[in-house]
């Protein structure tokens, strides 16, 4: 016996809903158009069509800027939950049909290259039916498209965007590191010796050297030392390996480099704690078996590192 059909759902135009969600999340018609691979005008027409359908204003337009109205914010939050729910249901459908489960992990570039990739074979052995797709990005997780990732790995911050759940799994400590050849030419026996070196800075970690030198009671060093700036942290670490200067390296992310002798930590202290790494997933996906397995594995690997 078949169930009678339910009542017809009064849904908005789905293309318009998708455009609205992108604009509300990114805060820009242009950014939404780029993400959706359509024109700026098409996104604008979709948003107007949704407002006409709803009979409610979703954005206040101030010059070229868009600001969500109270109704727009409430609708954005509900739409985000709905999209996440569809993504979770789609994943379960594919899994029940016997399809290989694809798990998309969006991780910070340096973390992915220096810590995650060398360990992923262990996860694959535990979960051979999960096909992992690794995407690197340092973009704010709140600006990532709904449905574009299952797990994001970022450094801890408060508050996290709404509709995400997560947990910290890996502590981080910062200490100066350099290539062995550089330290042979210009040894570093105290923080004051850093004044003879070029300090390598990463734009993604602003103020890191200032904090470390203050903890070492050597704040005057920063004024006398040379500087090199890089837009990504992995470039900073590569520059240190190549002997361009001294970087503030995070443990345990660079543990393999130190064990292999590519980098040396000439000073035993201070070792400065910094923000730990966290996994995050949209709340509707939190009960997914593959996602839970990956996040549990991250916590177990982090526990091993944190104890060493």
Omega of the bond leading into 192 within 30 degrees of 0 (cis): no
Domain-embedded: residue 7: no
Give the pLDDT confidence score for residue 226 in this predicted structure: 81
pLDDT digits (tens, 9 = 90+) for 283-295: 888 888 899 999 9
Domain-embedded: residue 271: yes
- pLDDT higher at 262 or 142: 262
- Residues in contact with 60: Cβ distance below 8 Å, sequence separation at least 6, in sequence order: 66, 67, 68, 69
Lowest mean pLDDT of 27-41, 206-220, 247-261, 282-296, name the range. 27-41
- Strand 151-155 with 101-107, pairing: parallel
- pLDDT higher at 4 or 278: 278
Report the CATH number that the domain containing residue 212 is assigned in CATH. 3.40.190.10
Give the pLDDT confidence score for residue 19 in this predicted structure: 84
Give the pLDDT confidence score for residue 143 in this predicted structure: 79
Domain-embedded: residue 36: yes
Lowest mean pLDDT of 5-9, 237-241, 283-287, name the range. 5-9
- How far apart, in whole angstroms, are the C-alpha atoms of residue 14 and residue 33? 16
Task: Average the pLDDT over 258-279 and give the result.
Answer: 92
Task: Average the pLDDT over 217-231 and give the result.
Answer: 83
Domain count, the chain: 2
Give the pLDDT confidence score for residue 221 in this predicted structure: 84
pLDDT digits (tens, 9 = 90+) for 74-125: 888 888 878 877 777 776 666 665 555 789 999 999 999 999 999 999 999 9
Among 41, 61, 78, residue at a domain's last position: 78
Give the pLDDT confidence score for residue 7 in this predicted structure: 63
Give the pLDDT confidence score for residue 261 in this predicted structure: 92
Nearest to 50 by CA among 31, 32, 65, 34: 32
Domain-embedded: residue 180: yes
Give the pLDDT confidence score for residue 5 in this predicted structure: 59
- pLDDT higher at 209 or 11: 209
Among 41, 56, 78, residue at a domain's last position: 78
Domain-embedded: residue 86: no
Instruction: Find the DSSP H helices in the chain.
Output: 14-26, 29-36, 40-54, 70-96, 109-111, 120-126, 180-185, 208-215, 221-224, 233-241, 255-260, 289-307
Q: Which of 1-15, 91-105, 175-189, 203-217 tops mean pLDDT?
A: 175-189
Percent of the chain scoring above 70 in pLDDT: 93
Task: Average the pLDDT over 45-68 and give the result.
Answer: 84
Task: Average the pLDDT over 6-28 and give the result.
Answer: 80
Domain-embedded: residue 195: yes
Radius of gyration, CA atoms only, the chain: 24
Q: Residue 64 is part of which domain span?
A: 14-78
Give the pLDDT confidence score for residue 97 in this predicted structure: 52
Tokens 């009678």, located at residue: 4
Share the mean pLDDT of the chain. Answer: 86
In the predicted structure, residue 1 carries a pLDDT above the cut 50: no
Report the CATH number that the domain containing residue 74 is assigned in CATH. 1.10.10.10
Domain-embedded: residue 212: yes
| Measured CA distances, 297 to 77, 170, 262 (Å) | 30, 12, 28
Domain-embedded: residue 131: no
Model confidence, pTM: 0.67
């Amino acid at each position: 016996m078949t169930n009678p059909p339910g009542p017809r759902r009064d849904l908005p135009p789905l293309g318009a809903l998708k455009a609205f969600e992108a604009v509300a999340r990114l805060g820009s018609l242009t950014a939404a158009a780029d993400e959706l691979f359509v024109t700026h005008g098409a996104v604008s027409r979709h948003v107007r069509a949704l407002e006409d359908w709803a009979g409610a204003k979703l954005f206040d337009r101030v010059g070229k800027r868009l600001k969500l109205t109270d109704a727009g914010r409430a609708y954005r939050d509900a739409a985000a939950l709905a999209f996440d729910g569809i993504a979770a249901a789609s994943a379960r459908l594919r899994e029940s049909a016997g399809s290989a489960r694809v798990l998309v992990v969006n991780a910070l570039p340096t973390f992915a290259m220096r810590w995650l990739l060398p360990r992923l074979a262990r996860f694959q052995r535990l979960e051979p039916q999960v096909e992992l797709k690794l995407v690197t990005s340092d973009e704010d997780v709140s600006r990532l498209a709904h449905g574009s990732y299952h797990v994001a790995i970022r450094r801890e911050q408060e508050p996290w965007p709404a509709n995400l759940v997560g947990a910290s799994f890996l502590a981080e400590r910062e200490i100066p590191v350099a290539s062995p050849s550089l330290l042979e030419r210009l040894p570093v026996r105290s923080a004051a010796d850093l004044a003879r070196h070029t300090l390598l800075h990463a734009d993604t970690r602003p103020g890191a050297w200032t904090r470390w030198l203050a903890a070492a009671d050597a704040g005057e060093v920063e004024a006398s030392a040379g500087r090199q700036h890089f837009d990504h942290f992995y470039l900073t670490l590569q520059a240190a390996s190549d002997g361009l200067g001294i970087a503030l390296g995070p443990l345990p992310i660079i543990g393999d480099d130190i064990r292999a002798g590519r980098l040396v930590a000439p000073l035993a202290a201070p070792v400065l704690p910094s923000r730990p790494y966290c996994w995050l997933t949209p709340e509707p996906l939190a009960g997914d078996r593959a996602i839970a397995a990956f996040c549990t594995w991250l916590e177990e690997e982090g526990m091993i590192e944190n104890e060493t």
